[in-house]
Amino acid sequence: MVLFNYILMCLIFGTTFLAIKVGIDTGASPFFSAGIRFMLAGMVLFLLMAWKRKASLSLLLCKEMFLTGIGLTLGVFAPLYWAEQYVSSGIAAVLSATAPIMILLLQAGISQHKLSVTSWAGCLVGFAGVILLLLPSFTITFNKFWMISCVAILLGQVFYSAGTVYSRRVIQQFQDTSPITLNAVQMMYGGGMLLVLSLFTEKVHIESMLNPKAITSLLYLIIVGSMMGHTLFYWLVAKTNPVFPSTWLYISPLIALSLGALLYHEPLTLLSLAGGITIIVGIVLVNVDNLKQLVDKKPKKVEKVCNQR
């Protein structure tokens, strides 16, 4: 069951970037689409957890949820949705996979802990992968919006790394609250802020939002991407350990590259593919200590944290 859910989670996370691209290409407003997705997903999850008596309305008044929503939802998905107007879903997925490198650098800066030679090597290899990924835009034809979009996605991962480091403190602070509930509340906050951003920065075309492809994309991202994907992630954390589920980052970007090329006919150059693989190698090097710990230790057995319905 663990292996099946892990494979399913990797497939889900690998397909969300293409689902975003399909919705954006129909003319759906980026910020509005993202806001609706996370607001509805967060509300449904919160209501489910409240029904199970594992959620409290008091959480909606906590500033920690607001700050986490900025880091994990607003700051990440506002640039990602905007950028997918100009870059392929596969490139967006691979650039998003640089998050573990940024998390490592941020943690090292906060704790003033010296990085190991392997970690530094991983950072350099990952940076080289980004250069390879961006190189075709210089060697073939320079596209200003393509380059700005790539930088925007990388900036979003800076927000994600800060949000991840901060959310670990929040989870410790709210130890009696399910992580699924905490994630639901931060999605609601992030979704609300995305809708406010949409109100002031873009004109929402309702006819585009009602396009069958846009509706299908939105429903897929709400139900499968945000609700099922994150629930599977937390289920795997409970059943194994925090390291094993995170290895989706080594698999899902390559799934996204392949799906984008096969199903959506997105261009895939040899340099882009080499850059994607190089970034994945860098991430593996950055996390080599955690991976050794994963291999050396058997997954711990824990009881179910919630009833499956």
Averaged pLDDT for residues 201-212: 88
pLDDT tops 80 at residue 281 = yes
Averaged pLDDT for residues 18-36: 95
What was the pLDDT predicted at 291? 65
Per-residue model confidence as pLDDT tens digits over 35-62 = 999 999 999 999 999 999 999 899 999 9
Query: Which amino acid is it at 126?
Result: G
Look-up of token digits 């979704």: 191
Structure confidence at residue 297 as a pLDDT band (50, 70, 90):
low
What was the pLDDT predicted at 103? 79
What was the pLDDT predicted at 116? 80
What was the pLDDT predicted at 305? 37
The rounded distance, in Å, linking the Cα atoms of 55 and 124 is: 43
Averaged pLDDT for residues 178-188: 92
What was the pLDDT predicted at 239? 76
Torsion of CA 162, 148, 91, 266, to 10 degrees: 150
Structure confidence at residue 131 as a pLDDT band (50, 70, 90):
confident
Per-residue model confidence as pLDDT tens digits over 132-150 = 877 765 555 557 888 899 9
Which one is predicted more confidently, 214 or 241? 214
What was the pLDDT predicted at 293? 65
What was the pLDDT predicted at 138? 57
pLDDT tops 90 at residue 205 = no
Averaged pLDDT for residues 237-254: 73
pLDDT tops 80 at residue 209 = yes
Averaged pLDDT for residues 249-276: 84
What was the pLDDT predicted at 304? 38
Buried b / exposed e along 92-123 (16+ C-beta atoms within 10 A)? bbbbbbbbbbbbbbeeeeeeeeeeeeebbbbb
Which one is predicted more confidently, 79 or 56? 79
Mean pLDDT lowest among 77-81, 146-150, 227-231, 300-304: 300-304
Residues listed for the chain: 309
Structure confidence at residue 241 as a pLDDT band (50, 70, 90):
low
pLDDT tops 70 at residue 248 = yes
**Percentage of the chain lying above the pLDDT 70 cut:** 89
pLDDT tops 70 at residue 306 = no
**Percentage of the chain lying above the pLDDT 90 cut:** 41
- In whole numbers, what is the pLDDT of the chain averaged over residues? 85
